[in-house]
Each structure stands twice: as structure tokens, then as C-alpha cells.
A and B are shown apart, each in its own frame.
Chain A
């Protein structure tokens, strides 16, 4: 009925049949693709955290804990100075740099004085407390509780001379760039902070 031979006399019916078949084939293809690409609809995020200053410790932790609240699969891969965020002792003593930050209410010549980083850090810590903003430690504990995978790059642990035991319990060690890339390749959101 839908063969080409019928076309001249039954063009309308033939094309409807063809379209039906095409639609069905497309539906099957879409369904196969969905199955292959989006198994359970869970979103995934990978963040690479490379900075160890007080202000730069917050964005990855805030995004990671919030994404976990959305039910996303989250990995934060910490490397270089980002390792300090996971370092139990150092994380409680992260500094804000007064130099090279145009938002600081002082010229660089003043900001470069030896005690100014401590002044800037104390000011920021006071603001964090007054604003009801969680501490870095609280955000780490919260993220770990919610199932965020906080990873510490093995190469930089050794480069910086850290001991794995110095990191928070629950931090993943023994991972490298390949592990990070593997998660990034499947992630819906990838960020380098």
C-alpha cells in the first residue's frame, strides 16, 4: 500500500504511511539515545579547586554543597594551593591577600606591609561571622555529609610535602588528573576555580 508503485494513484496515503514509519523510527532512536546518555537523569558536576586563599575557598564549597542538595553527583578535585582547603589545620587559617586586589580599600604600597594580610583576613573573618556565613570547616563537613567527593591530588600532596593524615576524614586521596578527567568527561558542569 505504501510502495512506490502506488504513489501516482495513492500519493496521500503512501506519504502518511511513510511519515508514520519515520516517526516511529525516530521515536525508537530518541529512546535508545536517552537510555544510552542519561541513565537516571542525575546531573553531575566536577570542580577543579586550585586556590588556597580564604576568598577562593568559598566558591567551590558553596557550589558543591548546593549541587549535592540538588541531588547531583559532585566531585571537587583539589590541586596545588586548593589542597589547603582540605588540610584540617590550614583550612582553619586560610588568609586573604591584601595585595593585588583592587577591591581592597588601600593602595598596594600599604597592602604590601608585612601585617596587612592578617588585617585583611581578620576583617573578612569578622564579616563572615556577622553575616551568618558558614565557615570553611562547616562547609567541608556539610559537603562530606551530603556525599560530595572531595579529592586531593596525589601528585601535589607529595609536591607540597603534605601527609595524607593531615586532611579531613572522608577526603579521597590517591587520585590524579586521569581520575578528574574521567569524571569531567561525563559531567554536565565543569568548573575550574
Chain B
């Protein structure tokens, strides 16, 4: 389990590219400064895509990414901080 305590959680389970990144952008825009957004996805491509998005977008940083299992399905959790 992650050591980060999210301010908000965005559930994009069941959605595939490009929606996890697109919805994350919207959720980060609504997030307060310093807040941590947890994104929960089932799209395995989100590991690379959200990292790439966070690395090349000003004002956000990817704190942690983890793969876990939820009801037998793989889920990918991403912790993104807004500066």
C-alpha cells in the first residue's frame, strides 16, 4: 500500500486510452495546490501514459505508481501531487 494519503480519488476503472489521462487532467485542474490525487485505473497503459503526462506537464509530479489486485483484477494506482 502507498504511503501517500490522497486528497481526492479519481476512478477511471474500465476506461481505456486516452480517457485516464484526459480525466486526470480535469481532476488535477480541480485539485487544490499541494493536494494529492489518487487515480485508480484498470488500463495497463496508464502506467506509462500517466508517468509521461506528469513528467512533461508543469505543476504536477508523479509521487508513486503501484500495481495491485482488486476483486481478482489488476488495478493501477497513481499518486499525483499538484504543486
A residues near B (Cβ < 8 Å) are: 41, 62, 65-66, 68-71, 131-134, 139, 142, 146
Contact = CB atoms under 8 A, between A and B. Distances in A.
Contacts of B14: 132
Given A41-B58, A66-B17, 11 more contacts: A62-B18, A66-B53, A69-B21, A70-B53, A71-B57, A132-B14, A132-B16, A132-B19, A132-B43, A139-B18, A146-B22
Interface of B: 14-19, 21-22, 24-26, 42-43, 53, 56-58
Contacts of A132: 14-16, 19, 42-43
A66 B22 contact: yes
A71 B43 CA distance: 22
Contacts of A134: 15-16, 18-19
Nearest to B28: A69
Task: Give the dominant DSSP class at B's interface.
Answer: loop
Contact of A69 (B16, B24, B42, B43): B24
A142 B16 contact: no
B38 to A, nearest CB: 18
A62 B53 CA distance: 14
A131 B53 CA distance: 22
A69 B56 CA distance: 11
Contacts of B21: 66, 69
A91 B19 CA distance: 19
Contacts of A139: 18
A142 B19 CA distance: 9
B58 A71 contact: yes
A65 to B, nearest CB: 5
Given A71-B57, A71-B58, A146-B25, A66 B16 contact: no
Residue of B24, B25, B58 ringed by the most chain A CB atoms within 10 A: B25
10 contacts: A65-B22, A66-B22, A69-B22, A69-B53, A69-B57, A71-B58, A131-B16, A132-B14, A132-B16, A132-B43
Contacts of B17: 62, 66, 133
7 closest A-B pairs by beta carbon, nearest first, are A69-B25, A66-B18, A132-B14, A62-B18, A132-B16, A69-B21, A69-B22
